[in-house]
Amino acid sequence: MVMPKNRLPTIRENAFPDLLRTGYEVTSKEDQFQNCFGYAAGEAFGWWTPIAGSGYQWPQELPRKTDVDTFVEFYNLKGGYVPCDTGELEEGFEKVVLYVDSNNEVSHAALQKENGVWTSKLGVWEDIEHSIPEGLNGDDPAYGKIARFLKRPRK
């Protein structure tokens, strides 16, 4: 286990029991101007979610549901992503991974960088880079389990 140079506060690190073991690094300060769904879709600002609320954004043409199929449609609409079988690095492709909680509701999305490292916006917390998507698995407050990988040609 390699200790990250920039770590989450212990209480946050403890929310993701596999993160320290699998490797991660904090890459930004916390902020409340963007969530993981917008971050993974390449939106610089905005709280993208199908759950209605003040200041929340969601495409009008999509249902306000938190199931995997709705989020597959969201990422296809926002960036042309389509389902794929694996999160392995694939030359020429950018990938997103969707996580679901114990109710099978999408709880998080992470983006794979060109070097194969994954990057996540942890709600209103910091952005992190993590070596494998499984580092965010676990029971609430972690994000549950991996439900689907998506990919598109890298721009």
- 94-142 pLDDT, tens digit per residue, is 999 999 999 999 999 999 999 999 999 998 999 999 999 999 999 888 9
Asked if the structure places residue 3 within a domain, the reply is no
Exposure of 97 in the CB half-sphere (CA atoms within 13 A) = 28
Query: How many angstroms from the chain centroid is the CA of residue 83?
Result: 15
Owning domain of residue 129: 10-153
The tally of domains found in the chain comes to 1
Using the predicted structure, report yes or no on whether residue 4 has a pLDDT greater than 80: no
Asked if the structure places residue 5 within a domain, the reply is no
Asked if the structure places residue 2 within a domain, the reply is no
Asked if the structure places residue 109 within a domain, the reply is yes
Asked if the structure places residue 141 within a domain, the reply is yes
Asked if the structure places residue 4 within a domain, the reply is no
pTM: 0.95
Q: What is the pLDDT of residue 146?
A: 98
Asked if the structure places residue 1 within a domain, the reply is no
The size of the chain, in residues, is: 155
Beta-strand relationship, 127-130 and 118-121: antiparallel
Reply yes or no: is the peptide bond before residue 50 cis, omega within 30 of 0.
no
Q: What is the pLDDT of residue 140?
A: 85
Using the predicted structure, report yes or no on whether residue 11 has a pLDDT greater than 70: yes
Residue, of 46 and 110, whose pLDDT is higher: 110
Using the predicted structure, report yes or no on whether residue 2 has a pLDDT greater than 70: no
Both structure tokens of 105: 């509701």
Average of pLDDT values for 83-101? 97
Beta-strand relationship, 118-121 and 106-112: antiparallel
Asked if the structure places residue 103 within a domain, the reply is yes
Which of 45-54, 55-64, 92-101, 137-146 holds the top average pLDDT? 92-101
